[in-house]
Structure 1
Amino acid sequence: MSSMKKHLFNNKNIPVKFSIFYLITGVIGIISIDRFFNIYFTYGQTNNNSFFNFLFLFLFFSVLILFIILNHMQKVISKIDKSYKDLKEKDKERLMPYEFALNNSVDGIYWFTIDAKIVYINDAACKMLGYEKEELLGKYLEVMDINFNRQTAIEIMHKIKNTENWILETSQRKKNGEIFPVEVSGHGFTYGNQDYICAFGRDISQRQEINKKFKDMNIELQKSLDEKEILLKEIHHRVKNNMEIISSLLAMQLRRAKDDEVKYILKQSKSRINTMALVHEFLYLGENLAYINLQDYIKRLVQDIKELYISQNTKLKVDLHIDKLIFSTNRCIQIGMVIHELCVNALKYAFKEDRENLLCIHMKKIGDKIHVKIRDNGEGLKDINCLYKSESIGMQLIHSIVEDQLDAIIEFRNNNGLECNIIFSKDEEE
């Protein structure tokens, strides 16, 4: 019975079935009334009870049919309403996490139609702008963004739609009229055959304040740094000047000295002071107050030594090959002093006026080591070991700097003249 009822009132065919059922009932009713009137007019009279019985039955069946139709429609409507409520509840449960995420986002989230009408706005955006949702839904972009009018708002929507990863810094206006900076990013999407724009807005007032503070701090730090650089340059300049004064005093003493040995000692002292003063000159004239390009320093140093020690009659060729190396002030002074002493020794003992003289100075970076080679083309030494035991100020200074300060290895040997090889670490100790 249940299956027959279910089949009889199948929702898909019920309009057709009710129409046919009502049509059959109507035809039967019309035939019955027609028979009744034929009898009435044929016999001229009829039984009153029969007439009322017929009307009563017709009314009863009509009401019954109407009740069945309305009752079924009510059940169908109730079922549809229940299904709609269940679906709505399921959708609500399914969308609840997304709605929570949207409303609790730090960024304001807006959905616009392609003509810049607001169709969705989250709680964060409302809080940021000071509006209720109902006050903004259906309004246009220019209500909250002072940089757009009706035409430019539509243009920017099309630009967002056609631009990947669109982003803009703009200004928005709160309900109370306050203007604040906003960073907005947007993306276009299509839903239900209609184009929409989803935009994310973030209040960057705090970021701009922090950036301004950092900018002001950087200006102050740069100002302080510039002042310190000027001060350091001035210090290096004064140190250089003081050393030049000492060098000038030694030069005066040199001119008055009569003993050749005293003259040589004064000349060496003057040359050593110039070697150190040259470092401060490079620091004063250079852009970096902590490090010096060793190529330029050694080239200038050798030139100064030549001018001080070599006479115009002595022919000297300098073979200078130095890798590009950057060292601190102390390291440059250490290397400069060692090269100075070795070059002066070569100029004093190896070179002569009546021949071609050659001085080779090579510095190469090999791995984490610096290899220094200084060679002359003199006659060399018969007893190389004497250089390791010499009590001269120059050799003692060389060994002191090489062993104690550079922590290096030094080796002397004869190689078509005297050759000195020094190896030390590229990295400087703190």
Structure 2
Amino acid sequence: MTKLFLRWQTRSISSKQLLWALPWLVLALGFGTTYVLWRNARLDAAQDLEEETQFWMHKVIYSIEYRLKGNVQLLRGIIGLFEASKYVSRQDFQVYVQALHLEKRYPGIQGVGFAVVVPPEQKAAHTAALRAEGFPNYAIYPDGERDLYTAIIYLEPFSGRNLRAFSYDMFSEPVRHAAMARARDENQATLTGKVTLVQETDTDIQAGFLVYTPIYRHGAPHDTLEERRANLIGWAYSPVRMDNMLHSILGTVEFGALESMFDVEIYDGVTLSSDTLMFDADQKLNFADTRSAFHAAQRIDFGGHHWSVFLNSKPAFDARLHNEKSRLIAITGSIGSLLLALLIGILTFSQARIAAALQEAARANEQLMASAQRFRSIFETSVVGIVTCGPDLRFTQINQAFCKLLEYTEAEVVGLLSAANITYPDDLASAQLLMEKIMRRDIDRFVIENRYITQTGRMFNAITAARAIYDDAGCFSSITVAILDITERKQAEEALRTSLEEKNVLLKEVHHRVKNNLQIINSLLSLQTDHSQTPEVLDTLRDMQNRVQSMALLHETLYQSSNFAQISLPNYVENLCIHLWRAMGSTTGRIELERQIDAVGLPLDQAVPCGLIINELVSNALKHAFPAGRGGRVRVTIQAQPDQRLALIVADDGVGLPPRADPRCAETLGLQLVFMLVEQLRGTLVVTRDTGTAFQIALPIKAG
């Protein structure tokens, strides 16, 4: 018997130790989970920023290549001019180039010129002819005897810096010579390495380069290498100042945010040094600067030459690594872990007290059957109020704890009062219902939480445990009731509940302030539109307003909702579409809007890009699908699929996309943003053109 008792006692001690360790275990698990989520948020932010860095790099590369291709097309026009007639006069060349409006359409180009081939035996005649045209001091430079001469005879605009290049023999300079020879022999547009243009003065000297295209004699063959060298009459070329060209590209609205986020550096070839530096946006030469958190490098191959392009992030961009999401996870996770551990601790303590009281009451009942003396001793020493009632439910026995709890003496209670006299009036009906079940033997015991009134009128909360005793005939004989005061526990629970409600109010305030800040940004953009006259700028500002408004509506939906973890799509998408309708001025009834949106909820990190996708696609439909007052219908459909995926369809019955147009190759930021967001959400996008245009997107739904 002693061994069994010792074994039971050892097991009881181990269970208590485990119970008291439970809050600390919950706290440790909470902090561990918070750390993992915080780290994942940081990694996600780093991945997003790396993708954004690569996005900007591709955008810079594309814009530079696009500008270079434009230069080549310009020179091919010069070739066409020479092929159209046997002789192109200086006036013909001037009229043609002036019609191109170089400064407006090709910013960065110093000019467009023609360099003629001058064999040594024709040099004197060539010089005499040019002097006869009104240039008495004309002479090919630099001086010296060479196997072949070239001379710049046409160059527009023929003023300012460009006058310095007139009559210059570019074939005499090695870097230019290599590109000109390659253009002649391959009949291709070529690019020189880094040079200093002869147009440069003593101030604002920039790196430069030239683009060459060969021009062959009118009607002469030039299919073979020998024919090309024999029939070459000269080169159409354009000198370009690197800083002017890059600033004209990066200074556009499309690259407005790039300057504050990245430094752009371009080097001639693969060697990185100050000698090969072609362009440096911040003039700091920091291609090896390890202080930047994000870097990107890519090579441009064009015209038989290549450049090395580098992007290095600036502190303003690097600061986004420490985003609001990771901080919010760290703060809310830590607070939540502490609150949960505190709640578990309170419940553990309460459970221990309740378990101890019930165990003590059960032991007293068992000992009553064995020995009245032993029962009486335990009965009187119990810290739980214990009372027995007879068949008439009047108190027959009470202990000192009961007297202390109810503030009665034994003489005032025994034989005179029943449970109805001390039970709180609002709880009396439920207590009487339980006693009726006891009488009918539907139950023989119960444990409830109820309230009592002391003799002085003080109310307290308690856990009441009761056990009925029946005689041999099965009739109710008596009932023993144990009463445990849990007022302190209830107060602690109420304090915890109040604290949790305050945290919910705080979270709602966070979403409210985010929404207000986005509205301020929207207002600033609106003010900017009032001062902008350029249609392209106005279009871009309105697009930015719509994107900001889509995020503001999302946070407005969050703080008006009781669930901060998920966004209800029907209400959010409805408000977003109505906003776009009003913003685009499409409320006259010419264009109808159909919405078919399932009652689906998305977590915040999916709802933001989903809202931006809807914003871009609906805006595009309103802008481009119904030109010239045409009417039609735009349909937005969101359906939950059985495989935990979401189907999002934005369709119109407008004019549709051109037959050969590929939306994936679109140059507009809106469509590029749509494809980027769909990829970010790990979804798929299909474009159909049956009647109008339909964008069908399938997205996986995260567990909310």
Q: Tell whether the structures are fold-level matches, with TM greater than 0.5.
A: yes
Evaluate the alpha carbon distance shift between residue 189 and residue 411 of structure 1 in structure 2; reply closer, same or farther with a 3 A threshold.
Answer: same
Partner of residue 161, structure 1: 439
Code of the aligned partner of 2:517: V
**Residue 530 of structure 2, aligned match among 252, 273, 279:** 252
1:299 match: secondary structure: helix
- For the Cα contact (< 8 Å) 1:146–1:172, is it kept in 2? no
Q: Deviations over 1:297-341 (max 9, x none)?
A: 211212222222245777111121010122233322211111111
Evaluate the alpha carbon distance shift between residue 221 and residue 98 of structure 1 in structure 2; reply closer, same or farther with a 3 A threshold.
Answer: same
Q: How do 1:17-416 residues align onto structure 2 when only pairs under 5 Å count?
A: 99=370, 103=375, 108=386, 110=388, 112-114=390-392, 116=394, 118=396, 126=399, 128-129=401-402, 140-142=414-416, 147=421, 161=439, 164-165=442-443, 169=450, 183=464, 185=466, 187=468, 189-191=470-472, 196-199=477-480, 201-205=481-485, 207-226=486-505, 228-229=506-507, 231-253=509-531, 256-257=532-533, 259-310=534-585, 315-367=590-642, 368-383=644-659, 386-404=662-680, 406-416=681-691
2:654 match: secondary structure: coil
* CA–CA distance in structure 2, aligned partners of residues 320 and 158 of structure 1: 58
Larger Rg: 1
Q: Deviations over 1:238-281 (max 9, x none)?
A: 3233223223233223xx31x33333223222222222222233
Identity among equivalent pairs (%): 17
* CA–CA distance in structure 1, aligned partners of residues 414 and 587 of structure 2: 90
Code of the aligned partner of 2:489: I
Identify, as 1 or 2, the structure richer in helix: 1
* CA–CA distance in structure 2, aligned partners of residues 187 and 203 of structure 1: 15
Code of the aligned partner of 2:493: F
Does 283-292 or 263-272 show the bigger shift? 283-292
Code of the aligned partner of 2:612: M
Give the gaps of 5 or more residues in structure 2: 1-365, 423-431
- For the Cα contact (< 8 Å) 2:519–2:549, is it kept in 1? no
* CA–CA distance in structure 1, aligned partners of residues 471 and 529 of structure 2: 89
2:552 match: secondary structure: helix
1:420 match: secondary structure: strand
- For the Cα contact (< 8 Å) 1:114–1:158, is it kept in 2? no
Give the gaps of 5 or more residues in structure 1: 1-94, 149-155
1:209 Cα offset (Å): 1.9
1:271 match: secondary structure: helix
1:161 Cα offset (Å): 3.3
Q: Deviations over 1:112-168 (max 9, x none)?
A: 2447473xx6xxx6474589xxx989x9443797937xxxxxxx8996636855868
Evaluate the alpha carbon distance shift between residue 384 and residue 423 of structure 1 in structure 2; reply closer, same or farther with a 3 A threshold.
Answer: farther
Code of the aligned partner of 1:238: N
- For the Cα contact (< 8 Å) 1:408–1:422, is it kept in 2? yes
* CA–CA distance in structure 1, aligned partners of residues 688 and 420 of structure 2: 83
Code of the aligned partner of 1:142: L
- For the Cα contact (< 8 Å) 1:145–1:171, is it kept in 2? no
- For the Cα contact (< 8 Å) 1:410–1:421, is it kept in 2? yes
1:423 Cα offset (Å): 0.4
2:482 match: secondary structure: strand
* CA–CA distance in structure 2, aligned partners of residues 311 and 181 of structure 1: 65
1:291 Cα offset (Å): 3.3
* CA–CA distance in structure 2, aligned partners of residues 234 and 194 of structure 1: 65
* CA–CA distance in structure 1, aligned partners of residues 639 and 420 of structure 2: 65
Evaluate the alpha carbon distance shift between residue 173 and residue 112 of structure 1 in structure 2; reply closer, same or farther with a 3 A threshold.
Answer: farther
Evaluate the alpha carbon distance shift between residue 143 and residue 379 of structure 1 in structure 2; reply closer, same or farther with a 3 A threshold.
Answer: closer
* CA–CA distance in structure 2, aligned partners of residues 312 and 117 of structure 1: 79
Evaluate the alpha carbon distance shift between residue 251 and residue 100 of structure 1 in structure 2; reply closer, same or farther with a 3 A threshold.
Answer: farther
Code of the aligned partner of 2:590: K
* CA–CA distance in structure 1, aligned partners of residues 663 and 419 of structure 2: 85
Evaluate the alpha carbon distance shift between residue 180 and residue 127 of structure 1 in structure 2; reply closer, same or farther with a 3 A threshold.
Answer: farther
Evaluate the alpha carbon distance shift between residue 317 and residue 293 of structure 1 in structure 2; reply closer, same or farther with a 3 A threshold.
Answer: same
Partner of residue 25, structure 1: none
- For the Cα contact (< 8 Å) 2:518–2:548, is it kept in 1? no
* CA–CA distance in structure 1, aligned partners of residues 393 and 612 of structure 2: 78
- For the Cα contact (< 8 Å) 1:360–1:375, is it kept in 2? yes
- For the Cα contact (< 8 Å) 1:384–1:413, is it kept in 2? no
1:189 Cα offset (Å): 3.3
Evaluate the alpha carbon distance shift between residue 418 and residue 195 of structure 1 in structure 2; reply closer, same or farther with a 3 A threshold.
Answer: closer
* CA–CA distance in structure 1, aligned partners of residues 563 and 454 of structure 2: 49
Code of the aligned partner of 1:202: A
Paired residues, number: 308
* CA–CA distance in structure 1, aligned partners of residues 594 and 665 of structure 2: 29
1:209 match: secondary structure: helix
* CA–CA distance in structure 1, aligned partners of residues 690 and 571 of structure 2: 27
- For the Cα contact (< 8 Å) 1:145–1:173, is it kept in 2? no
1:184 Cα offset (Å): 5.3
